[in-house]
Structure 1
Amino acid sequence: MNTQKRMTLTRLKKMKRDGQKIVCLTAYDAAMAHWVDQAGVNVILVGDTLGMVVQGHETTLPVTLADMVYHTQMVQRGNKSAWCVADMPFMSDGSIDKAMEAAAALMKQARANMVKLEGASKRILSIVEQLSELGVPVCGHIGLLPQLVEKNGYRRAGQDDASARVLEEEAVALEQAGAEMLVLECVPSDTAKRISENLNIPVIGIGSGKESDGQVLVLNDILGTSLGGAPRFAKNFLQDKNSIQEAIEQYAFDVRNGHFPLES
């Protein structure tokens, strides 16, 4: 049984300073949030991946703000201690006003602890800065950007020196704008390592090697239940376990002890 106190941003930053790996996992409803929390996961991400793994869409783009509020509300009913991050869905950050309204809904109605935005354009940096000034904790997201799939496709980011430098510059810019956490998706492990070392905020990797401050995966991927299969960097933790709870606990244990991911 999980007996940890309510996770805070201060504690997450201390974990980074102390070299303790941060365990993050998605959840989309109260029951799964309960079991994820009971396994001692530090951060629950209510991802717009729900569009694919819950709603059956091919991308995250159809997910609405109302969907995100609804699922975050459910997650927070089941979650007692994990830090909860909610995705800002596609086009909810299309303008400053829309972003303010979306963040307010996710924080006030859904009771998220933090909101997450994709990208590091001037517009996004301005939104991050204004949200931060208003007291909204913001998580950035760079690398592969699922909300730009129709434009860029699903491909790894930072594959050459020039694009890797751009990622490093984006990471610094997001921190300077006020971001309190950063997700790196599908970037080379050496780039993830440099970014993690250069920033003071927690850096959470997905498909980006093991050198970041923590890891996040989609819950359905670690249980082998994702429609269309899981990405290559994921692992089915349920395969050799007797229950979903054991699988989540094994994932948390492996991340904390550097057993997952295997690649450096």
Structure 2
Amino acid sequence: MSASSAATPATGYLTPTRQVRIADLRAKKATGDKWAMLTAYDYSTARALSQGGVECLLVGDSAANVVFGYSQTQQISLDEMIYLAAAVVRGAGNALVIADLPFGTYEASDEQAVLSASEMMRRSGAAMVKIEGGVRIVPRIRALVAAGIPVCAHIGFTPQSVNALSGFKVQGRGDAADRLLADIHAVADAGADMVVLEMVPAEVAARATAEVEISTVGIGAGPDTDAQVLVWHDIAAFPADGHRPKFAKQWAQVGADLTAAAASYRREVAEGTFPAQEHCF
């Protein structure tokens, strides 16, 4: 066990005991140590996930769906993302926090990308921004890196481009594998510190991971990436009736437990058994 991590029954396995840095995650690739990323959108959840030992928290634009109830991720604004990211940073403990730049805040120009990313980092305290796209987005990555802003790239299935991709489809199959590999080499060469590979064939993700020096983070990309990321609502089945992607596993039933707790609370209020004497001053 390294000096920078510890395990206790009350927290998680190998919970970081000092601030996780980009260099720490980069070093794990060299040693073959896997690491974990989960989405987070608020202070309390960030505290719980970091206490569980998760090294990296992603304030994803999936907040559009799971927090704000929008039908598409394209609908969330930079301001909304910044408020969420700031809350996560305050609760993140030693975890490294990455924040998505939402749709429409970086595509137009290098200047727009740098201004949006600078605003995100200044107001939220996030350590890194994430943007979607491969070869086509290389100029933006170079501009961000030149401005001193760490970048996590995102290729394969990119939710902000769901309409252009004609829906939620696996990317990189067959002849398209070469294009995906070209994308990952392009973002690595442009200076990205890590790259999310979403919904790509496992063998393609394994090859990509072996070919680049930066960390690869898989979501529906098989077991051979350097790290894994999931939406926390998916790992905890929250809400109980929510859609779960094929690549997600449920380790808890938070949705069902919360509904049951609410139902019990409502019943005891109606019956007059809550609050009881022990709850009174």
- Per the shorter chain, which TM-score range? 0.7 to 0.9
1:35 and 2:35 correspond: no
Stretches (4+) displaced over 4 A? none
* Contact 1:117–1:138, Cα closer than 8 Å, also in 2: yes
Gaps of 5+ in 2: 1-10, 259-281
Partner residue, 1:131: 144
1:110 and 2:124 correspond: yes
Higher relative contact order (CA 8 A, sep 6+): 1
What TM-score, normalized to structure 2? 0.83
* Contact 2:82–2:123, Cα closer than 8 Å, also in 1: yes
Partner residue, 1:262: none
How many residues in Structure 1 have an aligned counterpart in Structure 2?
Answer: 241
Deviates more, 1:55-64 or 1:185-194: 55-64
Provide the rounded CA distance (Å) in 2 between the counterparts of 1:105 and 1:68: 11
Deviation at 1:121, TM superposition (A): 3.7
Provide the rounded CA distance (Å) in 2 between the counterparts of 1:14 and 1:177: 20
Provide the rounded CA distance (Å) in 2 between the counterparts of 1:98 and 1:134: 12
Deviation at 1:98, TM superposition (A): 1.5
Provide the rounded CA distance (Å) in 1 between the counterparts of 2:94 and 2:200: 30
Which of 148, 154, 160 aligns to 1:147? It is 160
Provide the rounded CA distance (Å) in 2 between the counterparts of 1:56 and 1:120: 28
* Contact 2:16–2:55, Cα closer than 8 Å, also in 1: no
Deviation at 1:3, TM superposition (A): 5.0
1:163 and 2:180 correspond: no
Partner residue, 1:97: 111
Provide the rounded CA distance (Å) in 2 between the counterparts of 1:169 and 1:126: 15
Provide the rounded CA distance (Å) in 2 between the counterparts of 1:58 and 1:16: 36
Which of 230, 238, 247 aligns to 2:252? It is 238
1:57-68 mapped onto 2 (5 Å cutoff): 57-68=70-81
* Contact 2:135–2:186, Cα closer than 8 Å, also in 1: no
Provide the rounded CA distance (Å) in 2 between the counterparts of 1:77 and 1:10: 22
1:17 and 2:12 correspond: no
Partner residue, 2:266: none
* Contact 1:4–1:40, Cα closer than 8 Å, also in 2: no
Provide the rounded CA distance (Å) in 2 between the counterparts of 1:232 and 1:59: 19
Partner residue, 1:187: 200
Provide the rounded CA distance (Å) in 1 between the counterparts of 2:116 and 2:125: 12
Q: Deviations over 1:119-148 (max 9, x none)?
A: 1143x1001001111111100000001001
Provide the rounded CA distance (Å) in 1 between the counterparts of 2:122 and 2:218: 28
Identity %: 37
* Contact 2:114–2:147, Cα closer than 8 Å, also in 1: no
1:81 and 2:94 correspond: yes
- Say what the alpha-carbon RMSD is for the aligned residues: 1.7
Counterpart amino acid of 2:159?
A: P
Deviation at 1:69, TM superposition (A): 0.5
Partner residue, 2:8: none
Provide the rounded CA distance (Å) in 1 between the counterparts of 2:202 and 2:152: 20
Provide the rounded CA distance (Å) in 2 between the counterparts of 1:180 and 1:211: 18
Q: Which entry has the higher C-alpha Rg, 1 or 2?
A: 2
State the SS of the aligned residue for 1:7: coil
Counterpart amino acid of 1:103?
A: A
Partner residue, 2:267: none
